[in-house]
């Protein structure tokens, strides 16, 4: 990483980020024993525009090789003059551990701008239920900060699971939100309480153990009336889905982000940006994807979903593995090849419907998302 001086004080002039950008780390601090937050600004005065819950992709050179990872922004666009990432040290975590060990204020990182369909603006809700565990708290924190900054009476129930109270990320800030906003209902579920003394305000309810149907009902009695946003380790998210199904929750009101696809997502975004930075793609190994007035050149190895997301078009992609069927779309013209059609009926397949995450181009294609 290149050392440079931190950026000057920012003005209120808005600007946007396109393609690869260099951001300056201006601050870092410990959230817990193994979690660090980093604050970034641009080298020039810049106001960042993104949606609460979106992620940003970092591109680093580690031991002479390119490495990229996507991390959800823990900052909020209601405070737009900096971006914040909150990163946990993990066993074998190449990029996460490298950042924690090496990234210091004054150094720069190469990034792609924020993106992602799991966000507050693209998922309509009247009442919110945020369910998180571990570092899955980051999008929920961003969403909560935005809602409490911008809406007087946003109805939020926030249930976070952690090993101990010492592992609760953003604990002080969350509790401040809970004391200042009566409609922000903060709940903790910890596997083990390591101190007998009070460790949270009286207004913050808690339970010991793991999330279950019983303690979810007790902590959020009106859970069935809420739109659920879910993020955390894969076993946690699978357990939550089982619990909600057991409670006969309307699963169409469940939206989730997954850490399991972060590496693939990052690599895809970097490939797209590199293609955009080069001359227009041509030749037998690339095809044109057309969606309305949007056009995107894709290689034969890239999925429809990669092209759709690169253009910033709305699409829900929950599993990204051809199982859930959320990314169904219709091929109007052209030839494609799919590895999964699990949720599609024979009639839909005959009409040209495919799953974007599992489909690649074999010719120029015109696509409909409606």
Reported as a pLDDT band with limits 50, 70 and 90, residue 336 is very high
Tens-place pLDDT, residues 82-128: 999 999 999 988 999 999 999 999 999 999 888 888 999 999 999 99
3-state secondary structure the chain: CCECCCCCCCCCCCCCCCCCEEEEEEEEEEEECCEEEEEEEECCCCCCCCCCCCEEEEEEEECCEEEEEEEEECCCCCCCCCEEEEEECCCCCHHHHHHHHHCCCCEEEEEEEEECCCCCCCCCCCEEEEEEEHHHHHHHHHHHHHHHHHCCCCEEEEEEEECCHHHCCCHHHHHHHHHHCCCEEEEEEECCCCCCCCCCCCCCEEEECCCCHHHHHHHCCCHHHCEEEEEECHHHHHHHHHHHHHCCCCHHHEEEEEHHHHHHHHHHHHHHHHHHHCCCCCCCCEEEEEECCEEEEEECCCEHHHHHHHCCCCCCCCCCCCCCCCCEEEEEECCEEECCCCCCCHHHHHCCEEEHHHEEECCCEEEECC
Whether residue 2 is predicted with pLDDT greater than 60 in this model: the reply is no
Q: Report all structural domains of the chain as residue ranges with CATH numbers, in order of start.
A: 21-115 (2.40.30.10), 127-260 (3.40.50.80), 286-369 (3.10.20.30)
pTM score, two decimals? 0.70
Q: What pLDDT, on a 0 to 100 scale, did the predictor assign at position 282?
A: 47
Residue-level pLDDT at 183: 95
Mean pLDDT on 171-187: 95
More confident residue, 157 or 93: 157
């Amino acid at each position: 990483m290149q050392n440079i001086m931190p950026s000057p004080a920012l003005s209120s002039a808005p600007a946007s980020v396109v393609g690869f950008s260099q951001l300056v780390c201006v601050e870092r601090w410990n959230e817990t024993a193994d979690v660090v937050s980093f604050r970034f600004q641009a080298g020039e005065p810049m106001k960042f525009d993104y949606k609460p819950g979106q992620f940003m992709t970092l591109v680093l050179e580690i031991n002479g090789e390119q490495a990229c990872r996507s991390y959800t922004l823990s900052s909020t666009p209601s405070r737009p003059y900096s971006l914040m990432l909150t990163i946990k040290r993990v066993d074998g975590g190449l990029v996460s551990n490298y950042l924690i060990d090496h990234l210091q204020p004054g150094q720069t990182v190469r990034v792609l701008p924020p993106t992602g369909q799991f966000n507050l603006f693209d998922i309509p809700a009247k009442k919110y239920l945020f369910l998180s565990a571990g570092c899955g708290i980051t999008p929920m924190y961003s969403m909560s900060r935005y809602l409490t900054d911008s809406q007087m009476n946003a109805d939020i129930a926030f249930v976070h699971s952690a090993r101990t109270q010492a592992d609760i990320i953003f604990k002080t800030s969350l509790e401040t939100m809970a004391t200042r906003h009566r409609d922000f209902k903060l709940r903790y579920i910890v596997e083990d309480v390591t101190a007998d003394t009070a460790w949270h305000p009286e207004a913050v309810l808690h339970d010991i153990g793991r999330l279950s149907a019983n303690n979810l009902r007790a902590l959020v009695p009106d859970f069935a009336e809420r739109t659920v946003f879910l993020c955390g380790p894969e076993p946690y998210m699978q357990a939550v889905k089982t619990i909600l199904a057991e409670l006969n929750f309307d699963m169409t009101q469940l939206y989730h982000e997954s850490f399991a696809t972060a590496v693939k997502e990052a690599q895809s975004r970097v490939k797209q940006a590199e293609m955009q930075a080069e001359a227009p793609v041509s030749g037998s190994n690339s095809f044109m994807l057309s969606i309305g007035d949007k056009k995107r050149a894709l290689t034969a190895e890239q999925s429809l979903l990669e092209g759709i997301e690169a253009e910033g078009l709305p699409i829900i992609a929950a599993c990204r593995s051809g199982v859930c069927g959320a990314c169904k779309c219709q091929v109007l013209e052209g030839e494609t090849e799919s590895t999964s059609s699990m949720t599609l009926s024979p009639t839909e397949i005959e009409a040209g419907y495919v799953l974007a995450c599992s489909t690649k181009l074999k010719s120029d294609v015109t696509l409909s998302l409606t």
